Structure 1
Amino acid sequence: MNGTVLKSKKIKSYIDTTLFLGIMVFFFGYVGSIMGISKMFSTIMATAYSLLVETVLYIMAIAVLAGAFGKLATEFGLVRILNKIFSRIMRPIFNLPGVAFMGIITTYLSDNPAIISLAKDEEYLSYFKDNEVPCLCNIGTAFGMGLIVTTFMIGKGFFKEAMIGNIGAFIGSIVSVRLMSRKTNRAFKSGYKSEIPRNTIEGIDTTLKASDGTFFERFLTSFLEGGKLGVDIGLSIIPGVLVICTAIMMFTFGPADPTIGYQGEAFEGVRLLPRLGEYISPILKPLFGFTSPEAIAFPITALGAVGASLSLIPTFLKNNLIAGNDIAVFTAMGMCWSGFLSTHVAMLDSLGYRGLISKAITSHLVGGLAAGISAHFLMVILNKILLII
């Protein structure tokens, strides 16, 4: 038995190595054959440096401010007040108890994994049925980094589009959570059980309680702690932005000056994704209303890292590749997906529902698509109304 297991692991190791080598050969071979080896590496370094200085630090600044506000909102009871106000609508909309709204707020103000801290609290979980707990992963992810994404888009001058995007993300979250809820119901009826046993205890106390210290001390402490969390978020997105976004950009853009050819400058590439986007544009255009084929790079990047996808926006705007509708769709899909392919597995594993990972991923994939489609049609309706007015 042990010999069979070792043999299986050895075969898997060879397959993984072959796959890795295949990806490396394809990337460097394909890109290098078009751009030239020296120009390719020069572009990689220049793009990564430009993203770090011009985009990552900007996102980090937003994250620091958003983190500070989020911590202040929690410290002074705003989160609990909002929870009380909206708790009555959670069951009819998401088929979840009212306290699930606290998960929306905490992830919107920070990032997807913030839902785990709530889901690890047995008092908080006492409000949920066993089959409802896995849905926390989907509802938390659908609003992850919401404040940062929204603030980023507003900072680029797209307030109206960012608000429409938030509505689209909300619609996508309903689709994702409802689909996940149906799948978990079937799974638990078929005998599925959590890998982590749950205890049923009394509900949490939702009354407002003041922490120790004066108002000024609490304000200063919360502000600094929240800002520090923002710095951590900013640092955590650096690998995703520099690695993923550099690769995506090199598959998205062409030479800076087509008449001269490749010069090894930042944001040059081989335009592979736009060519692929042109083939499926008959589907993308009516569903999302993308202005250019290059826009497909944003949702693809958002699947793995929303921070990296935001890094595409300045270059898109500079080259007039996107417009207001694209920003609304990007906001909706960026918020709803929130890099869920890189977090969903770890989050569900942490919650003790490893067996439901595939169900959660497929549900959330559909939810993100619904978010983008909704944002597009909401923008179409809004623009028509503005024309009439």
Structure 2
Amino acid sequence: MTGFSLFDRAAALDAADPLAPYRGHFLGAEDPAVRSYLDGNSLGRPLRATLDNLTAFVTDQWGGRLIRGWDEGWLSLPEQLGDRLGRVALGAAPGQCVVADSTTVLLYKLARAAVAARPERTEIVIDRDNFPTDRFVVEGIARERGLTVRWVDVAYDAGATPADVAGVVGENTALVLLSHVAYRSGFVADVPAITALVHDAGALILWDLSHSVGSVPAELDAWGVDFAAGCSYKYLNGGPGAPAWAYAARRHLPTLDQPIPGWLGSADPFAMGSEYRPADGIRRLVSGTPPIVGMLAIRDMLALLEEVGMAAVREKSELLTAFAVEATDHLLAPSGVNLTSPRSPEHRGGHITIDHPAFAGMVPGLWQEGIIPDYRNPNGIRLGLSPLSTSFHEVAVALEAITTRLADGT
């Protein structure tokens, strides 16, 4: 522990941070009641611009234009926002991304369409440590279609590797569903390598980017990904329950048979036809009426990410997690705290997890102090470090509080 000064180190990093001024773009960043917010990987802070833009939308568009708003831009917003998301954060050319539904619904649509595209195959592959929704969706589709789930066992402090996946995919594999960044450990998967070996087996792959989009750059087109989906209320700061997004590679769109056909995904919605004919392109993935209000905050955050650039965001993210790891080693490891995330920055997403048996009882007290990390079973505190809204000082405040409570037995 000699030579490590937590707050001096944090102050030096904040002073050298070129992205530090962007913290002021977020509401609540200077709220004295929230001393440290390290849960941006579950719910990002709202932007100040969103407060103004939501008010203007209610007054001028919803209140002023009323139903005319659908013809004046609302109906095209899912695809417009999808294209911008693809350009800014996903490495996806236009016409392959759309904003709609929830993550669960989009994962179901894409996974169901993928297994339908491989009707002769009988297995779906997923790792045991994936987010519950992903596992539940896969198990549900397997029951519906009479398929078998093949499970990938992964290291507790990591995630699925090419070697792990190679051990289970084969001639019976229809679909592999994995996460770009593991929700608990923060492990960053080798997307291009895994995607290539899945394709070599003749299968399709669906990536969940919920814990990476807006924090870890992606290159979905260049990586050869078939399908992807993710939420928008973490690093995209879309707000509670904001609509999710989906990506389908252009090569799959002409034959994509999505399982929840709705009127706005049809070729001519306002014909009110007697039978469903899917729209051309990514629009066919839409089912019901777009959640316009829920898209506005996403649009604001994408504008900010485009201004800053994903490379700069990722650089700040790696520095934040490196500082948290350094502080954990110096202050918490002597009390028996274990780092259960990768140690190399390039293998970590925007959060780390630290484990200790006392953490389950500690987190409620931390929240009462205005120190807000995340808890994940069996005994992990997850430190979510949102690059544009989190300061190094906030990280220091949280780790000092955890250190003190461990020492006091509280």
What TM-score comes out, normalization by structure 1 length? 0.24
What TM-score comes out, normalization by structure 2 length? 0.23
Point out the structure with the larger helix share. Answer: 1
